[in-house]
Amino acid sequence: MNGVNGKRRSLLGYKETIVMDLVFATQNQNKAKEIQELLPSTIRVKTLAEIGCFDDILETADTLEGNAALKSQYVVDNFQVNCFADDTGLEINTLNGDPGVFSARYAGEGRDSNDHMDLVLKKLEGVTDRTAQFRTVISLIINGEEKQFEGIVKGDITHEKSGKSGFGYDPIFKPTGYSQTFSEMSMEEKNKISHRGIAVRKLIDYLRNI
Ligand code: IMP
């Protein structure tokens, strides 16, 4: 692609960095904040609100890959922009990969993260295999062509909630090799090892090389 990361001369003769506008198809401010920290300044991310999209984009696929693609394709089709969307799930081995694609509504529509975590902890009562992974899939559509990127972080479900930062299932997920849950880590520490961090770095590597 022309000039994603390059330089050009302005009318005044100064070299300026060319910025690529990319819409991030999310309404979740926590995710937008996390991802903003990971992206280089040459890529200017626009939120859905900034392009005037306030639609409730349906996530009706039964895989993370399908839902990520549904979201990015919707924005491309309706707003004629380049766009990326992500979908994430907590996959617990002993629950056959649940809550997975249902992570946002595991305890039912309209329930909050505490309810979802309580349900997970209840289902794992007395269970010794507590291994799990967070998996993020990013669907990027540039000039009508889709590419997907995956990020996985493995860990264990704790026996109780610990920590105050982060969101979602962070208080009950302890990444392998760490003694703290995601919720006890700073956003910076979490970004270094997280599923989303890994997927976003793959996205960035790709964008730097097109
Ligand atoms: P989404 O596809 O990123 O909206 O994620 C779906 C659901 O997975 C969210 O509603 C959260 O409950 C959970 N989730 C996603 N990312 C994270 C994370 O980084 N930490 C904890 N929970 C997460």
Using one digit for the tens of pLDDT, what is the confidence trace for 61-110?
999 999 999 999 999 999 999 999 999 999 999 999 999 999 999 999 99
More confident: 84 or 50: 84
Could you tell which of 167, 187, 198 is best to mutate to test the pocket of ligand 1, judged by most ligand atoms within 8 Å of the CB? 167
Is 70 exceeded by the pLDDT of residue 16? no
CA-proximal residue: ligand 1, atom 15 (nearest): 88
Is 90 exceeded by the pLDDT of residue 193? yes
pLDDT the model gives residue 176: 98
Is 50 exceeded by the pLDDT of residue 2? no
pLDDT the model gives residue 4: 44
Q: Quick check: CB of 181 below 6 Å from ligand 1? A: no
Ordered by where they begin, the domains of the chain are 6-207 (3.90.950.10)
Range 39-60 average pLDDT: 86
Q: Quick check: CB of 139 below 6 Å from ligand 1? A: no
Instruction: Please say whether the beta carbons of 26 and 32 come within 8 A.
Output: yes
More confident: 197 or 39: 197
Q: Is 86 a catalytic residue?
A: no
pTM (2 d.p.): 0.87
pLDDT the model gives residue 34: 67
Range 189-198 average pLDDT: 93
Q: Quick check: CB of 61 below 6 Å from ligand 1? A: no
Q: Quick check: CB of 170 below 6 Å from ligand 1? A: yes
